[in-house]
Homo-oligomer: A and B are copies of this chain.
């Protein structure tokens, strides 16, 4: 897959953030690693979603420095770059401030795994990462420290929002969509009482099956 195709794909994946209600105005961003190169493609900074084109996407190296593009890269580029440097298995990263997930993040509280769809996709609670300021590697370090060795492809960065990872940018977008969906459902369940727990052994079975059987072969 070449850079031109990734630029096109990123337009559609940013549309998905809008379609599923995860972002407002210019917030949020998706990036994709360029396979076999020390590069990734990411959204430009402060551009509205309906102005995004393949050409507007920017290419950065793994230090987050602009390599190709007419715009400045997303202000979250350093966090994406850190993840790509430290987690070679990651092919895509997504960042949003989606409402319900960010509400859990504001309380610094993980989303408990009380839905079968959550066991399928996340295999565990959705964990909370540290409070970190933008401007250096602190956000990236917090993401990697939380997600390395964790089943969940999503982390709730405290007082901030969601970062998700995936084998591809599309997988990371899916994780962002599912993260908001389960964060919302569990929030609403808890408004009127306590959700029933799912036994760890059942979470394990659901996770294993979904990762290995679901979808088209």
Asked whether, in the complex, the Cβ of A107 is within 8 Å of the Cβ of B189, the reply is: yes
Extra pairs beyond A44-B216, A187-B188 (17, CB < 8 Å): A26-B215, A27-B117, A45-B214, A46-B215, A75-B214, A102-B185, A102-B189, A103-B189, A106-B186, A108-B196, A109-B193, A115-B160, A116-B134, A117-B161, A131-B202, A133-B202, A187-B191
Contact across chains for A97 and B191 when beta carbons are under 8 A apart: no
Contact of A187 with B192 at beta-carbon distance under 8 Å, contacts A72-B217, A75-B213, A202-B133 already known: yes
Could you mark each residue 189-204 of chain A with 1 if its beta carbon is under 8 Å from any beta carbon of chain B, else 0? 1111111101000100
Q: Which residues of A, 37-96, contact B by the 8 Å Cβ criterion?
A: 44-47, 71-72, 75
User: Contacts of A44 on B, CB cut-off 8 Å?
Assistant: 216
Within 8 A of B (CB), among A129-171: 131, 133-135, 158-161
A100 at the interface (CB under 8 A from B): yes
Cβ of A215: which chain B residues have Cβ within 8 Å of it?
A: 26, 45-46, 72
A159/B198 contact (C-beta < 8 A), A44-B216, A134-B116, A217-B72 known = yes
**A contact residues, range:** 35 or more
The answer to whether A188 and B97 touch across the interface, beta carbons within 8 angstroms, is no
Chain B residue numbers with a CB within 8 Å of A97 are 115, 117, 181, 185
Question: Given known contacts A46-B215, A114-B159, is B198 in contact with A131 (CB within 8 Å)?
Answer: yes
**How far apart sit A99 and B161, CA to CA, in the bound complex (Å)?**
21
Are B99 and A185 in contact, CB atoms less than 8 angstroms apart?
yes
Q: Which residues on B sit within 8 Å (CB–CB) of A196?
A: 106-108, 131, 158-159
Complex alpha-carbon distance, A205 and B133, angstroms: 8
Q: How far is the CA of A20 from the CA of B131 in the complex (A)?
A: 28
Residue from A24, A45, A117, A174 having most chain B Cβ neighbours under 10 A: A24
A32 CB within 8 Å of chain B = no
The residues of B that contact A46 with a CB separation of less than 8 Å are 214-216
- A178 on interface, CB distance cutoff 8 Å: yes
